[in-house]
Structure 1
Amino acid sequence: MKPETPSFQPPEDAQERRRVAPVICYPPDALPAPDIAALSKLRDGAERCASVTVPPRDAACIDVKAGQFFRILSVDGPQVGDLNLWSKDDLTERFYSGKTRALHGTHLSTGDRMWSSFPHMRPMGTITADTLDWYGFDAFGGSVHDVIGTRCDPYTGRLLSGTDYHHCCHSNLTRALAGHCDLPLDAAEAHVHDVLNVFMCTGFTRDTGQYFMKASPVRPGDYLEFYAEIDLIVGLSACPGGDCSAEHSSDSAACYPLLIEVFNPGKAARAAHRKPAPSGYDRSHGAG
């Protein structure tokens, strides 16, 4: 956090420097745009083929095949979720929230993609529907579905409070992945990564630039839906902060389950799907 009183005097041209116009770091124009209309039409004919309920203050994993859709649904009350994605074929290929943020912005919605880690760097899932897209950005600079937070975790909790809490999203996802893939906890934990905060309403304070959260606008029936670009393991934690209106990593917040549903558009549609190729970079890093 920046000090309230600077230690150094500003230069004479300080205001001129502040007025320099920003430049978008990664212009998205070169990214291939998903055909949301075609995907929506494909989704209309898809049938539900699998589902899993994520209990409050816990997590669950489910497999989703390339060419299928999956939906994260609010069912009983306002609840946020922490989403991880892994390649079904290789757990080291996982969702890269930082690069997704750089390409699409701090909060995701319909048409944005969830990109995978290096050296793969390809779309893992495309958001095809978002019932909270009406929210936009509020007067505080807050919006929903962020890729700026990390995930509540026991290490930060220990650092700040001096106590241990085991049902934060990091631990929930660790247990869920360990059970789903029959891995020891320490091996599973190495694959848990920064998340898409589904339904969470967040932003940065205008004066100090601090990460904030506020009560999520999500209500039962709201959902965020994705098209699986590759074979996935989808992991979701129902955050112990509930709607994150007051705190996270808490046993006092009202928490509710979340539902993951998988929809299959049919054998022919899935056969027509082409998985995105991994990055074509030769990985020589200038040494060749």
Structure 2
Amino acid sequence: MTEPDDAAARRAAAPVICYPNETLPQPDLALYRAARVGASKTAEVLAAPRDAAAFRVPAGHFFRITSVDGPQVGDLNLWSVDDLTERFYSGKTRALHGTHITTGERMWSSLPHLRPMATVIEDTLNWYGIDEYGGSVHDVIGTRCDPYTGHLLAGTQYHHCCHSNLTRALSDETGLPLHEAERHVHDVLNVFMCTGFTRDTGQYFMKASPVRPGDYIEFFAEIDLLGALSACPGGDCSAQHSSDAAACFPLLVEVFAPAPGALEGWSSPARSGYDGTHGRGPVAGRAG
């Protein structure tokens, strides 16, 4: 196609932030961190290499994901314990906070709920920032490695990709048959993964994660959560996805309960206050 005469002017149009987030409800990090100081560990689970583990976190408790033994990325799914259809919404989280999240930012739930599920209160990799390639850590832009894409691109039947790992973990935790559990597996928070988009082609890229044993990201559970974490078969994602060749290591999930009274005045966020009518009148049975 011939470039129009005003091509340069069109490209020079100034960008506008789609969702200015200055009016977002802000988490009380000081309260959360003070409550965390006196919290005691109540549970832990290890996501084995190329596998996933499920865990539960009551509202008002904390959970920490830690790299152990070697550099490893993880794929995280979150659901409401009371309703699996309320689940982490990576697209809206990306729209509200950006391509990667860190301390003070939140994982938001799916429509029609749209409320904070978990707030990042500590991140030992928040020093990384954005590198010269446009890469950063803890992305909400990728999906999850899955057997369908693997089959599409390479004709493989690989069963220990993150999608399948999360499906098995959710099935085991809830008793749902695999095919039903799979319907609830969704786009993830790529914990510790270093990613971005290439400047020239706009393609999604990954590079060696800067995570090292002992690094962690810690969250405050805003609602009662069911989580599943897959220790990705790509290891630190420096070279491959869905591979038995990459060096892989476990990821540790720990849950902590605050001391009684430590969160005085705090309550779980309500679901979206939108009336649900969509311009067609009252909605029967609309929950608040």
Cα 1:188–1:210 change in 2 (3 A) is same
Q: Tell me whether 1:70 sits opposite 2:60 in the alignment.
A: no
Partner residue, 2:268: 275
Distance (Å, rounded) in 2 between the aligned partners of 1:206 and 1:112: 26
Q: What do the CA deviations read for 1:128-147 (whole angstroms, capped 9, x no partner)?
A: 00000000000000000000
1:100-111 pair list within 5 angstroms: 100-111=93-104
Q: Tell me whether 1:55 sits opposite 2:56 in the alignment.
A: no
Q: Do 2:35 and 2:263's aligned partners in 1 also have CA atoms closer than 8 Å?
A: no
Partner residue, 1:13: 6
Displacement of 1:267 in angstroms is: 3.2
**Partner SS for 2:100:** coil
Runs of 5+ consecutive residues of structure 2 not aligned to the other structure: 282-288
Displacement of 1:234 in angstroms is: 1.2
Partner residue, 2:131: 138
Q: Do 1:56 and 1:256's aligned partners in 2 also have CA atoms closer than 8 Å?
A: yes
Distance (Å, rounded) in 2 between the aligned partners of 1:163 and 1:114: 32
Q: What do the CA deviations read for 1:25-60 (whole angstroms, capped 9, x no partner)?
A: 000011011121221111111111110000000000
Partner residue, 2:285: none
Which amino acid letter does the alignment assign opposite residue 274 of structure 2?
Y
Equivalences, count = 281
Partner residue, 1:80: 73
Q: What do the CA deviations read for 1:162-195 (whole angstroms, capped 9, x no partner)?
A: 1110000000000000000111001100000000
Distance (Å, rounded) in 2 between the aligned partners of 1:54 and 1:270: 30
Which amino acid letter does the alignment assign opposite residue 248 of structure 2?
C
Q: Do 1:132 and 1:144's aligned partners in 2 also have CA atoms closer than 8 Å?
A: yes
Runs of 5+ consecutive residues of structure 1 not aligned to the other structure: 1-7
Q: Percent identity among equivalent residues?
A: 72
Partner residue, 1:156: 149
Q: Show structure 1 runs of 4+ deviating over 3 A.
A: 269-273
Q: Tell me whether 1:266 sits opposite 2:262 in the alignment.
A: no
1:88-237 pair list within 5 angstroms: 88-237=81-230
Partner residue, 2:233: 240
Q: What do the CA deviations read for 1:63-119 (whole angstroms, capped 9, x no partner)?
A: 100000000000110000000000001111000000000000000000100000011
**Partner SS for 1:267:** coil
Pairwise CA RMSD: 0.9
Distance (Å, rounded) in 1 between the aligned partners of 2:79 and 2:134: 30
Partner residue, 1:5: none
Distance (Å, rounded) in 2 between the aligned partners of 1:165 and 1:272: 48
Q: Do 1:40 and 1:128's aligned partners in 2 also have CA atoms closer than 8 Å?
A: yes
TM-score norm. by structure 2 comes to: 0.96
**Partner SS for 2:118:** strand
**Partner SS for 2:262:** helix
TM-score norm. by structure 1 comes to: 0.96
Displacement of 1:271 in angstroms is: 6.7
Q: Do 1:69 and 1:226's aligned partners in 2 also have CA atoms closer than 8 Å?
A: yes
Displacement of 1:272 in angstroms is: 4.5
